[in-house]
Structure 1
Amino acid sequence: MTYDVVDTQLSPEGRLDVLSKAEVHRLLDTRNDGLYDLFRNCALAVLNSGSSTDDGKELLERYKSFSVDIIERERGIKLDIKGAPATAFVDGKMIRGIHEHLFSVMRDVLFIHDEIMLNAAFDIESSAGITDAVFHILRNANVLQPHIDPKLVVCWGGHSISREEYDYTKKVGYELGLRDMDICTGCGPGAMKGPMKGATIGHAKQRIPNGRYLGISEPGIIAAEAPNPIVNDLVIMPDIEKRLEAFVRTGHGIVVFPGGAGTAEEILYLLGILLHPDNAKLPFPLIFTGPASAADYFRQIDNFIGITLGPDAQKLYKIIVDDPAQVAREMLEGIARVRAFRKSNGDAYYYNWTLKIDHAFQHPFEPTHENMRNLSLHRNQERHLLAANLRRAFSGVVAGNVKESGIRAIEKYGHFEISGDLEIMEPMDALLSSFVLQGRMKLPGMTYTPCYRIIK
């Protein structure tokens, strides 16, 4: 099958209208440690916004001829793009939002490589160093806004959801927008797009001209969750762990919609952090919500959390079914408590420095077959550490489902094998199986082949 493509040249917008010779060389360096493949793959994902694929490997194979070059001129630079998806253009001209996202990718790829990874001032092996690096990446992207009251709601949920569930996410976003709250998501389709779309209407009705729709992604997942066109602030973090930390450091509360393995990973990440003794008194509103048809889904999630992490973990969230206005009211009240807590403790409204994140949640997990096989999934450990390992297991499933590297590893070596205590493996197997039956692992209409095998 062939796909329509377009060749074009683009002038940048913002701070990257000029690049040094060294920066150009790094962006176009095709060696293993060069930035070209990373830059090209992220750029292609951005240009593929709205596509019906969530397979990183398939995207790269679909547009094999895609390339991006940099033309240096007397008045600045231009990107020379060949073989770009035609869906990124209207009447031959690139959609403005996609144009902006493309240069956000360039900004973050360069900054992370030059100012974070190669900068001895950042000890990215230490917990404090990672938190500081996340802060600097967000600040460089102009995401941290110091003179605004807390009102950023992070929305998590699946990219593969039903039309009914998608419409519900829009209703929740609308109610949040009416109450002058901004939206942050993983920036892709489904439950990541719906709340933003709803909030735009709420903001418009309230004549709020500067609504924020923040999207946070990372190179491994961006092809499967290409930034939707509503995102007006896009940030590319180096890996999934720093992406998750960016969510919880910048957000003032979190709403979780139905989803699959990626949503379970996000839930386990946050619950594991909140279960740490140092965070016992820290307010962090967390709401699970969906339409009436999603009631069984949240019962399954709640049951899994109760069996694996216990009743204390279940006390950290509220489940609200089929009531978007109540979700918004609860979130508004929760964020008021966050504001009061941060004010009394001298913590910033724009970045949650007080939140303790154990290094187990920060160290990048590479989902190789060996690492997946050796995960510590047993009860003989602290609950927040069990949550960290469960999070890694679901992260591996996500990698095998949609990330190019994970898909290629499954093709080469077969299924990931996940093993542990029987009382953990059985509910985990049941939960993942329910995601498959409900069509939550792939976009609608696409066939799902499991990438994992539970060893009981």
Structure 2
Amino acid sequence: MQYQDRVNALVAPKGALEMLSQDEISRISEDSGQLHELFRRCSLAILNCGSDSDDAQAVMDEFNDFEIRIIQQERGVKLQLINAPSSAFVDGKMIRSVREMLFSVLRDIIFTHHEYNLARGLADASSDKITNVVFELLRNANVFRRSDDLDLIVCWGGHSIARHEYDYTKKVGHELGLRDLNICTGCGPGAMKGPMKGAAIAHAKQRIKDGVYLGLTEPGIIAAESPNPIVNQLVIMPDIEKRLEAFVRAGHGIIVFPGGAGTAEEILYLLGILLHPKNDNIPFPVVFTGPKESASYFEQIHEFIGEVLGKEAQAKYQIIIDDESTVAKVMKDGMDEVKAYRRLHHDAFYYNWKLHIPEEFQRPFEPNHERVAALNLNFDQPVHLLAADLRRAFSSIVAGNVKANGVSYIKEHGPFEIHGDKALLAKLDLLLQAFVSQQRMKLPGSEYIPCYKVVTGER
């Protein structure tokens, strides 16, 4: 989408930002440096909300003259926008949802950088410390509601899906909303937007005025998947691993819609955790679902999981095709089991402390050729560890597909090479080829050039 107009504006915060210190303001206000550029990129993604492009670099090139500055005043701060996309404004005023999300970016970038990257450092942090960090970031964003209700359903799925698949996600969201359930997604378009849109209509019918549409993202992905306008709580986690942990800690059940490499990454992350022996008895309702036209997609996913991770992994989820009301009922009924378990074990309703997440699923993975080639994609290891490295393989593909740093890395160094057991790689290659042929790697209309190569021969 090309925007002809640019807007200059001075914007005040709206309920998403606490007071900043002089030190925080000076660091984020610098005209140069990685922190300011990160803030600028994430802010542009918010202002570009509703774009039909998943090319982060194209957006940055289109608005290369965009700038954002923090203006300190006695009563707090304002943001000065220079050459901002006009689509973020109506009659000279910024759309309220855009303004709220814009200051969520400021809150999360500042807080994360100051409290964790500088003050504590997480490179050598223990597993428990990382879990506490995820909790503190969500609490800082006012995500938690202390109540007796378990009602937050996480919806995963692709940003690049067919129209009939998108329409189905809305139907499922509508059925969830009619049952007083709230929605959490990755906050972007496609299967991340549809459930929120459906739930919003259902909440209106049920006269629910405080519906939650929680979007969880991270800096590397937000520019390619700008938040959809329905999101009313936006949280930018420091990296993909903490984003994934936030999903499973804050959510009470998960629905998976059709998607591509990113959705496969999420599935493998979830199954790897649920397959860990320490999580054997923890109830966590999981449903894979889509319209009847997507039945073959889930057959492929189910077959891949069975052949690579085994029947135990397949037992961790249900597949329900073209039946949105049953999906919602399964989720609603599952809340009773989750509530009973947490009461019995004195676990919080709003944060899944009892779920054990091994460090292999928590440590940030920055893909390069050496790290991707070294992934242990062989059967001679515990199944949850195989799932962890399979997750990293798909994470690398996501980075090469849409993340600005990953895309530029691939352009300079060529595609990642994925090595491992020949039989396993053959199954992986078939699944990836299906994603490509079904246009699940990029938005329709975009030519897809693979950022990976599955190497089935000897190294």
TM-score norm. by structure 2 comes to 0.97
Distance 2:73 2:451 in 1: 48
Match for residue 20 of structure 1? 21
Given that residues 68 and 81 in structure 1 are in contact (C-alpha distance below 8 angstroms), is that contact kept between their aligned partners in structure 2? Answer: yes
Deviation of 1:101 (Å): 0.1
2:210 matched residue in structure 1: 210
User: Partners of 1:30 and 1:377 in 2: how far apart?
Assistant: 44
Please give the per-residue CA displacement for 1:169-215, whole angstroms capped at 9, x wherever unaligned: 00000000000000000000000000000001111111111110000
Q: Following TM superposition, by how much is the alpha carbon of 1:120 offset from its aligned partner in structure 2, in angstroms?
A: 3.4
Instruction: Name which of structure 1's ranges 71-80 and 186-195 shifts more when overlaid on structure 2.
Output: 71-80
Superposition deviation, residue 19 in structure 1:
2.8
Within 1, Cα distance between the matches of 2:348 and 2:17?
29
Read off the aligned partner of 2:6 and give its amino acid letter.
V
Residue 60 of structure 2 is matched in structure 1 by 60
For 1:254, the equivalent position in structure 2 comes to 254
- Matched residue, 2:35: 35
Aligned AA (1:114): H
Partner of 1:325: 325
Report the counterpart of residue 199 of structure 2 in structure 1: 199
Give the superposition deviation at 1:96: 0.6
Equivalent residues, number: 455
Aligned residue number for residue 421 of structure 1: 421
CA distance in 2, matches of 1:17, 1:356: 32
Matches within 5 A, 1:137-286: 137-286=137-286
The code of the aligned residue for 2:405 comes to S
**Are residues 149 and 93 of structure 1, via their aligned partners in 2, closer, same or farther at CA, if it must alter by over 3 Å?**
same
TM-score (norm 1): 0.97
Q: Which amino acid aligns with 1:8?
A: A
Deviation at 1:402, TM superposition (A): 0.3
Counterpart Cα distance in 1 of 2:4 and 2:124? 41
Task: State the secondary structure of the residue aligned to 2:17.
Answer: helix
Distance (Å, rounded) in 2 between the aligned partners of 1:405 and 1:157 = 23
User: Which shifted more, 272-281 or 363-372?
Assistant: 363-372
Q: 1:354 deviation in Å?
A: 0.1
SS at match of 2:259: coil
Aligned to 1:82: 82
1:123–1:129 contact (8 Å) kept in structure 2:
no
Question: What's 2:405 paired with?
Answer: 405
Deviation of residue 20 (structure 1)? 2.5
Work out whether residues 124 and 130 of structure 1, in 8 Å CA contact, stay in contact via their aligned partners in 2.
no
Tell me by how many angstroms 1:128 deviates.
0.5
Pairwise CA distance, 1:72? 2.1
Q: Quick one: distance in 1 between partners of 2:148 and 2:60?
A: 40
Structure 1, unaligned runs of 5 or more: none
Contact preservation (8 Å) 1:47, 1:88: yes
Structure 2 equivalent of residue 8 of structure 1:
9
Is the 2:16–2:104 Cα contact (8 Å) retained in structure 1?
no
Secondary structure at the aligned position of 1:60 is classed as helix
User: Once the 2 structures are TM-superposed, how far is the Cα of residue 74 of structure 1 from its aligned partner?
Assistant: 3.5
RMSD after superposition? 1.4
Is 1:347 aligned to 2:347, yes or no? yes
| Counterpart Cα distance in 2 of 1:5 and 1:161 | 31
Give distance in 1, aligned partners of 2:70 and 2:229. Answer: 24
Secondary structure class of the residue paired with 2:14: coil
| Cα distance change on mapping 1:401 and 1:122 into 2, 3 Å | closer
- SS of 1:35's equivalent? helix
Quick check: 2:9–2:81 contact (8 Å CA) kept in 1? yes
Q: CA-to-partner distance for each residue in 1:107-150, whole Å, 9 max, x for gaps?
A: 11111111222333978621001000000000000001112411
Q: Is 1:17–1:77's contact at 8 Å kept on the other side of the alignment?
A: no
Moved more, 268-277 or 55-64: 55-64
Pick which of 195-204 and 76-85 moved more. 76-85
Mapped partners of 2:423, 2:41: distance in 1: 41
Q: 4+ residue stretches of structure 1 with deviation over 6 A?
A: none
- Percent sequence identity is 58
Q: Distance in 1 between matches of 2:452 and 2:177?
A: 39
1:298 aligned partner: 298
Instruction: Give the C-alpha shift of residue 58 in structure 1.
Output: 1.8
Cα distance between partner residues in 2 of 1:124 and 1:341? 32
